[in-house]
Amino acid sequence: MYLSRHDGTDLTTFTGRVFIWDVAIELVQNSFLFGYGTGSSVIIFPDYLQQIGFKASHAHNMYLQILLSVGFVGLVSFLFIILCSLKDLLKSKNYGMISILILILLVGFLESAAIALTANMFTIILFIGLIESKIRCNNTINLNENGDE
């Protein structure tokens, strides 16, 4: 069964995500630097029901959702944390967690589940991976400083 917009047309563009993305991009342009606040899409998107064509509560794109919620400043901060964690994971040669992190970042183009307000599997895996990478990197640095390998 296909979802349909209220005007009856089938949603053939990533199950309607393109309509949400158009609205999200328009909104981001109006509050680019700091966004509208965490969880604001639940309040904002209903005003765009006519343009989207169906009820949406989030951007269905992790990066657009971050821009919408906390703006460019928040997106740069998020990407900085991810890149630092990726660097730490590479140092510790934790290829399993690197794969999971890359998977979450790729899925983020079609879903914003990893940064949802309520914890879900993507959120839990993302944060466990970030914490583990920091612990492993610190252990590797400590071992190298002590001359042990």
104 burial (CB, 10 Å; 0-12 / 13-18 / 19+) is buried
Give yes or no for a contact between 44 and 122, defined as CB atoms under 8 angstroms apart.
no
Q: What is the CA radius of gyration of the chain?
A: 19
pLDDT in tens, the chain (149 residues): 344 555 544 445 667 788 899 999 999 999 999 999 888 888 999 998 888 888 888 888 889 999 998 899 999 988 888 888 888 888 888 888 888 888 888 888 877 766 665 555 666 666 777 777 677 666 655 555 565 44
- Rounded to a whole number of angstroms, the distance between the first and last alpha carbons of the chain is 57
> Hey, where are the domains in the chain?
14-145
Q: Is the pTM of this model over 0.85?
A: no
Crossing angle of helices 95-107 and 62-92, in 10° steps, is: 170
Cα–Cα distances in Å, from 137 out to 3, 112, 141, 144? 46, 28, 6, 11
Place of tokens 């991009």: 25
17/57 Cα distance (integer angstroms) = 12
